[in-house]
Amino acid sequence: MTPIRVLTGITTSGTPHLGNYVGAIRPALATSRQPGIESFYFLADYHALIKVQEPARVQRSTLEIAATWLACGLDPSKVWFYRQSDLPETNELTWLLTCVAGKGILNRAHAYKAAVDRNRAEGQDDDYAVTAGLFMYPVLMAADILLFNAHKVPVGRDQIQHIEMARDFGQRFNHLYGGPAGTEYFTLPEAVIEEHVATLPGLDGRKMSKSYDNTIPLFAPRATLKKLIFSIVTDSRAPGEAKDADNSNVFQLYQAFATADETAAMRNAFADGIAWGEAKQQLFERIDAEIAPLREQYEALIAKPAYIEQLLRDGAARLRAQYATPLLLRLREAVGLRDLGKQVATAKTVSTQASLPVFKQYREADGKFYFKLVDGDRVLLQSVGHESARTAGQLIGRLKQEGGAALQQAETVAVKLGEELIGHLHEGVELAEIVEALAQFAVEDA
CA atoms within 13 A on the CB side of 114: 5
CA distance 132 to 106: 11
Segment contacting ligand TRP by CB under 6 A, of 151-159, 200-208, 275-283, 352-360: 151-159
Contact 173/186 with Cβ under 8 angstroms? yes
CB of 193 vs ligand TRP, minimal distance in Å: 13
Site for ligand TRP contains 7 (CB under 6 A): yes
Q: Nearest approach, Cβ of 300 to ligand TRP (angstroms)?
A: 27
Candidates 3-11, 170-178, 216-224, 356-364: pick the segment binding ligand TRP (CB under 6 A): 3-11
Nearer to ligand TRP, 14 or 423 (CB): 14
Closest distance of CB 176 from ligand TRP, Å: 23
Q: How far is the CB of 226 from ligand TRP (least distance, A)?
A: 29
Residue 145 interacts with ligand TRP (CB under 6 A): yes or no: yes
- Give strand ranges (E) for 167-298: 190-192
Instruction: Give the one residue of 64, 144, 164, 375 binding ligand TRP; rule: CB under 6 A.
Output: 144
443: helix, strand or coil: helix
17 in Cβ contact with 218 (< 8 Å): yes
Do residues 152 and 5 lie in contact, with contact meaning Cβ atoms separated by under 8 Å? yes
Closest CA to 218 of 68, 94, 85: 68
Q: Which among 89-97, 153-161, 170-178, 325-333 is the span making contact with ligand TRP, rule CB under 6 A?
A: 153-161
For 221-250, b/e burial (b = at least 16 CB within 10 A) is eeeebbebbeebeeeebeeeeebebeebbb
Q: Give the x/- contact pattern for ligand TRP in 44-83, rule: CB under 6 A.
A: x--x------------------------------------
Residue nearest ligand TRP by beta-carbon distance: 9
How far apart are CB 78 and ligand TRP at their closest, in Å? 20
Instruction: For ligand TRP, give the closer residue by CB, 11 or 248.
Output: 11
Question: For the CA atoms of the chain, what is the radius of gyration?
Answer: 27
43 lies in the site for ligand TRP, by CB under 6 A: no
For ligand TRP (CB under 6 A), the number of binding residues is 12
* Shortest distance, position 157 Cβ to ligand TRP, whole Å: 11
Between 7 and 381, name the residue whose CB sits nearer to ligand TRP: 7
CA distance 147 to 8: 13
Angle (CA) 315 156 291, round 5°: 65
Q: Does 9 bind ligand TRP (CB under 6 A)?
A: yes
Helix 249-257 to helix 276-302 angle, to the nearest 10 degrees? 50
Among 63, 97, 115, 141, binds ligand TRP (CB under 6 A): 141
Told to check if 353 binds ligand TRP by CB under 6 A, we report: no
Q: At its nearest, how many Å lie between ligand TRP and the CB of residue 192?
A: 10
As a whole number of angstroms, the distance between CA 26 and CA 17 comes to 12
Rounded to a whole number of angstroms, the minimum distance from the CB of residue 54 to ligand TRP is 18
Half-sphere exposure of 382 (CA within 13 A, CB side): 12
Window 362-391: residues binding ligand TRP (CB under 6 A): none
Q: Are 188 and 171 in contact (CB under 8 A)?
A: yes
Distance CA 415, CA 423 (A): 5
In whole angstroms, the minimum distance from the beta carbon of 159 to ligand TRP comes to: 6
User: Rounded to an integer, what distance in angstroms lies between the CA atom of residue 295 and that of residue 106?
Assistant: 40
Torsion of CA 67, 73, 74, 75, to 10 degrees: 110
For ligand TRP, what does the binding mask look like between residues 155 and 184, x meaning CB under 6 A? x---x-------------------------
Complex with ligand TRP: residue 47 or 226, whichever CB lies closer: 47
- Compare residues 146 and 381 and give the one whose CB is closer to ligand TRP: 146
Strands laid side by side in the 37-44 sheet: 80-83, 37-44, 4-11, 152-154, 190-192
Backbone angles phi, psi at 154, to 5 degrees: -70, 125
Do the Cβ atoms of 310 and 41 come closer than 8 Å? no
Q: Which positions lie near ligand TRP, rule CB under 6 A?
A: 7-9, 11, 44, 47, 141, 144-145, 153, 155, 159
